[in-house]
Structures are given as C-alpha cells and as structure tokens.
Structure 1
Amino acid sequence: MGEFVSGGVPIAYDVEGEGRPILLIHGFSATAHDNWVRTGWVQALTRARFKVITYDLRGHGRSGKLHDPAGYGHAKHAGDALALLDHLGIAEADLMGFSMGAGIAMRLAAEHGSRFGLVVLAGVGGRALEPASSFGTKTADALEAADPDTIEDRTAKAFRLYAENLGQDLKSIAACARAPREGSAADLVPLIRNRTLVIAGARDDLAGDPNTLAALMANARAEIIPGTDHMFALPNPMFKGAVMDFLTGYS
C-alpha cells in the first residue's frame, strides 16, 4: 500500500506480484479493491506472473477528495495514471480499464501508446461513440439526493446505492460525474495502435456492442460474454477467462 501526490491530489495505490507490469483502472464510483481484489483479478494476474498495479481514482476510495467538477475528467485521470507509472519507475506496462476506467485507458493508449503493451477495454462498446448525454447529470443528482428512495432513474439509483455501500464520499463522486466530457471517443479510438481487446457482456446496455468500437482500431478484436450485464461483468468467470487468455497468449 502506498500513496503519492499527482497534481496536488493524494493518490492511493497498491502493487502486488512480480513479473510483467499491468496497470488496472477501476470504474466510476468503484474502488480498486472492489473492482480488482474482491473479484479475484489481482489474485489471477499475480498467479500468471504479472506485477499488478492498482490505484483509487481521484475522488474515490482512499485517494484525495475533490468537490469541484473541474478537478476531474479523463485527461486528469490519465495524468494520474502516467504519474503513478513514473513514480514506480515503470517505463511500459500492459493496461486494463473497466467502464469509466476503460475510457481513461482509451485516452492513455491513444495519446501515450508507447507507454503500454497489451490493452484491455472492458465494459465498453459502441455507446462510447455516442454524443454526451444527460447520464452524468442524472447520476450526480442521484448521488446528491437526500433520500435515495426519491431517485427515479434506475441506473443512477444503482450507482448511488453502490457508492453508498462502499462508503464513498458522495459529493466527490457526484463532482466526478459532473466533469465535462473532453474530446470524442470517435476521435481517440482510431489513434490506438496497441494490440487491444474490447470486451463486454451481451446484456451490458451501458456499454453497447464491443465490435463497433474494436472495428475502429488497427489492431483490436472484440469479445461478447453471454448472459452478463455491466454490474456483474468483472466477477464473471467467462469474462475473466477471455481476458486472461488474451493477456497470457502474448506473453
């Protein structure tokens, strides 16, 4: 367990195992522990001889809390990821992001592809290419609601209850949700040259079809895991197996 400061924000991180480095970036309103440790990813990767680097995004978990949306956005999150690798003295690592973490990973691979080897974009698909919607505002409103029973949007309510269950600072998570969307995924994705796996569940309505996203990259393939939705993708054995096959098949 460690901590360093990136752009004035304390960032909490963990490093487990020895071998090829891989950086894991968790999803919105989650923590590194809940996405990667509780679901068995760290254990599986360390057994496969990876050095696993996880961290809590700014505003999440053990990292510093900011209540101003200007303190968030994928560019700042990506900056934290690069600063962590620099802090650890790691020149190149494989990369995996889930959901919002996959959006951050997309930016990292597009703009700093030489720092990364294999890339896994998990829990994302064609919906990442759609114009910005009111999802962030609805979710932020749900996180700030005095009574969760008053929240009508089912997805926003699910994020509120999830964040609350993890003991998150709800104001920080709401500020993260309100951060302005920076650039277009449609512009970033074609810049990715790394060997990439885009993977999502067949029932993941938040992600959409991963084939749509993979088709825009020069060296990507897609996997769709049957019977899996967004919230239960990471613990799914088939989901994990497909990713592990991808990562270890090129070791």
Structure 2
Amino acid sequence: MAEPTLHFWNASDGVQLAYHEVGEGRTVILLHGLFSSAEMNWIKFGHADRIASEGFRVIMPDLRAHGQSGKPHDPANYPSDILVRDLRDLIALLGLSDFDLGGFSLGARTTIDAVSSGMTPRRAILAGTGVDVLTNWERRSHFFLHAIHHFHDTPRGDPHWLSVQFMRTMKIDLEAAALLLKGLGDHPDPQRAIASFAMPTLVVCGSEDEDNGSARELAAMLPNATYEEIPGTHMSSVTKPELGEAIARFLAA
C-alpha cells in the first residue's frame, strides 16, 4: 500500500483545508461522508490504493469541519454552497480541467450539487446514496443536529445513538459540524440536478443501505447511470473491498 501524501491549502475564505493524494495518472476526486474523513472512507480500507492501481491520481479532500481540515466556529464560514465552493477552489488550485468526481453520502450529495451548478467531470460516482438524496437532506440534517444537541445524554437504543458513537470515534467538533449541517437542505431543483448527469455515472450502494432511499431508483432516473450493489449497510459498506473494486472498474472501463 502506498502512503498517501497530506497537503494543506487555504480556501477562498481563508480557512485552511486538507487533502490527501495517492497514485499517478488521471485525476479522480473522492469526497467523504458526513462525520467521516478521507482516511476513514477512502484510505483505511484500501479503496484509494485499489483505484490508484488502475493508473489514477486519487485526490481526497477532508471537507471543512472534518478530518484535518479547519473547523471554524463562525457561521459566516458555512454558507449553503460552501462545500461546492471549496471543491471549486481545490480544482483551481490543482489546475484541473479534466477529471473524474465522486463521493459517498454527503460526498455524493456534494457531487450532485457541483454537477448541477455546472461542473463537468468526465465520469461521476454516487456512492452510499439513493433517490432521497435530493429531497430528504433537510430532514436528515435535523436528525443529526438532534444527535449533536443530545450528544452527552443519548442512551443506547435511541435512534441517534449510533450517530453519536460515530461522532465520538471521529472526534467531531460538534459546533463546527452543527454550523455545516444548518446549511444542508433539500436540493432547490431536483429535476435540473438529475438532468445534469449526462456523463457516465456509477451509483453504488450497500445491499442493506436505505438511509437515503433507493439507490436503484436513483440510477434509473439518471440519464446515463449504472447501478452496482455491494454488501453492507450505510455504515459498513465503506469497509468492504467491493466499494473500491466497483469504483476502480467503472473508472478504468
């Protein structure tokens, strides 16, 4: 396994952000999920190495408020489009004009937001998400905000308990995460978002993952999508080698 390189850079609002890089060749940018990190989603379980082995340069940002990126506590640093803005800033920093783009869960939603706002990757990957990704984010955000607000008094068996435990594991900055979540609502124009995906798109999701609705239905709605099912739930599918295998095959095809 190659050791990824860690880089730090400053976004347009001055917040220091981090990205990890491994491999050489065509660039693919992979975005992690909520409360996670590039290390947890893409590096730890070998997905980045597997994709890099097909001749790809894998760029994996830590989203703001996550991982080794900045976690400011000023609401001004969290407008509703901030994750797409950060992505655009990173693409400009790297001088990219031709690249692939994908993400898991929140990373998939950010990919959708980026493409629907005019970004045109060669290929796209939407992992760990389904048809409700466009219309269910406000409800999901409220769910996670509740978990943050009751971080210290959520009992085992409560619907929020697993989320709290994952936040503990990831040492999440609760104030920064809450500020980011408050800007994450439903997509303003779902039909436009769907129509924007003219490029080949892989929708890949765990067989027991319905956290964001049906992935199969999402793939059927997109103009040029392939659906692939892998083992696992929303939490466990990122630990399975099948995730990296599916993405590597899709990108190398």
TM-score over 0.5 for the pair: yes
Structure 2: how far apart are the matches of 1:82 and 1:52? Answer: 16
1:188 maps to a residue whose letter is A
CA contact (8 A) 1:22 1:51 kept: yes
1:34–1:240 CA distance, 2 compared to 1 (3 A): same
Tell me the secondary structure at the aligned position of residue 27 of structure 2: strand
% identity of equivalent residues: 29
1:237 maps to a residue whose letter is P
Shift of 1:33: 0.9
1:183 aligns with 2:188: yes
Tell me the secondary structure at the aligned position of residue 106 of structure 1: helix
1:190–1:73 CA distance, 2 compared to 1 (3 A): farther
Q: Deviations over 1:7-29 (max 9, x none)?
A: 22211112221101000100001
Match of 1:198 in 2: 203
TM-score (norm 1): 0.89
1:55 maps to a residue whose letter is P
1:105–1:97 CA distance, 2 compared to 1 (3 A): same
1:21 aligns with 2:52: no
Q: Which of 102, 107, 113 lines up with 1:107 in the alignment?
A: 113
Stretch moving more, 171-180 or 81-90: 171-180
Structure 1 unaligned blocks of 5 or more: none
Residue correspondence of structure 1 range 7-18 to structure 2 within 5 A? 7-18=13-24
Structure 2: how far apart are the matches of 1:74 and 1:94? Answer: 24
- How many residue pairs end up in the alignment? 246
Structure 2: how far apart are the matches of 1:127 and 1:136? Answer: 13
Shift of 1:239: 3.0
1:133–1:151 CA distance, 2 compared to 1 (3 A): farther
Residue correspondence of structure 1 range 206-225 to structure 2 within 5 A? 206-225=211-230
Structure 2: how far apart are the matches of 1:201 and 1:73? Answer: 31
Which runs of at least 4 in structure 1 moved beyond 6 Å after TM superposition? Answer: none
Match of 2:73 in 1: 67
Residue correspondence of structure 1 range 70-149 to structure 2 within 5 A? 71-72=77-78, 75-114=81-120, 116-145=121-150, 147-149=152-154
Structure 2 unaligned blocks of 5 or more: 1-5
1:166 maps to a residue whose letter is M
1:161 aligns with 2:165: yes
Q: Deviations over 1:160-192 (max 9, x none)?
A: 211211122122112222224152444312222
1:67–1:151 CA distance, 2 compared to 1 (3 A): farther
